[in-house]
Structure 1
């Protein structure tokens, strides 16, 4: 089953976990520590956490400086630049912008409709971020093709991110709340990989 199909079939908890996991893996671009999103993860374990989602989200935005909204031309997170992979300015600058958009677009109310749109956009954004930062070129025309199952010629960083997105959704679909812990472990692994990539790029610039 393709990533697009998995997102289409996911329930509210799975969608929230999918979007949150994408954002969690990109936290190194926002200057956050590894625990910054833990309160949001904890709130996914039961229905009561849905009521506290908005408050916890605003606390995270305050810490990461991501409480701004999209401008009129910003569009949905992750859609800008997702076609050709060309960037305006450096790839890392665009990657940071996409990560900030993911955070800014997170819905304050954790409704199924709101988190579905967010999870889908975060999926695109996270794949595009990994495409921008991958030292090897991804041969696909767009990340949308990857999400639909066309995986020929994927670069390693993009392939790993696609696999993690699929795994998170499968864990939540198959195990419900019990899938949250392994989903978090998958996301933690991806965050460490991206942090290492960002660190290597920083050393090369220095």
Structure 2
């Protein structure tokens, strides 16, 4: 799926550096994680800090800590059209190694899985929720391409997107 400017997340991910790749994947996971564990989404804060430092040791340590903190997350959650499986796959796929190829593969999978999660809650094939997620992914990739200063914007976009998704899910649960 391409944006109105013709760029797709895959194209931008293809040209991103390690920090951009880590931020892209992490932002997708961060937006969707509250569907899996509403009360432990802050477990990713140390991972964001490691992205800011672009430090392999800090990344490995933060990923390891997040995995421990989120171990078993979603185990008791009702499977809602595959959402738990998709979000769990994003979390489980987070590479401990700070290297471009594993980060690129993870960012690409997270992009596709986040779009799929949004599509499950959307109206129609290319509905507004999925379109909003696509815009956020492109904005995150554009922000992190600016260097470390873009990480704050990427995090803001992630928080905003998470709120939107939670609101849609909550509204859907009330009307079901």
In which range does the TM-score fall when normalised by the shorter chain? 0.7 to 0.9
Indicate whether 1:137 and 2:149 are aligned.
no
Residue-by-residue CA offset, 1:109-136 (whole Å, 9 max, x unaligned): 11111100000000000000000111x1
Match of 2:147 in 1: 176
Shift of 1:178: 0.5
Shift of 1:91: 7.5
The answer to whether the 8 A contact 1:92-1:133 is kept is no
| Aligned-partner Cα distance in 1 for 2:153–2:67 | 25
The answer to whether the 8 A contact 2:94-2:106 is kept is yes
Shift of 1:21: 0.1
| Aligned-partner Cα distance in 1 for 2:13–2:23 | 11
The answer to whether the 8 A contact 2:52-2:151 is kept is yes
- Unaligned 5+ residue runs, structure 1? 68-89, 139-153
Match of 2:164 in 1: 193
Shift of 1:10: 0.7
| Aligned-partner Cα distance in 1 for 2:72–2:60 | 14
Q: How many residues align?
A: 165
Shift of 1:34: 4.1
Indicate the larger mover: 50-59 or 180-189: 50-59
Residue-by-residue CA offset, 1:5-48 (whole Å, 9 max, x unaligned): 11111111000000000000001111143422111111111233
Indicate whether 1:167 and 2:167 are aligned.
no
| Aligned-partner Cα distance in 2 for 1:19–1:132 | 19
- Unaligned 5+ residue runs, structure 2? 1-6
After TM superposition, the score normalised by the length of structure 2 is: 0.87
- Check 1:11–1:200 CA distance in 2 against 1; reply closer, same or farther (3 A cut): same
Indicate whether 1:4 and 2:10 are aligned.
yes
| Aligned-partner Cα distance in 2 for 1:156–1:3 | 17
Match of 2:68 in 1: 62
Residue-by-residue CA offset, 1:127-174 (whole Å, 9 max, x unaligned): 00000111x111xxxxxxxxxxxxxxx20000000000000011111x
After TM superposition, the score normalised by the length of structure 1 is: 0.75
| Aligned-partner Cα distance in 1 for 2:23–2:72 | 19
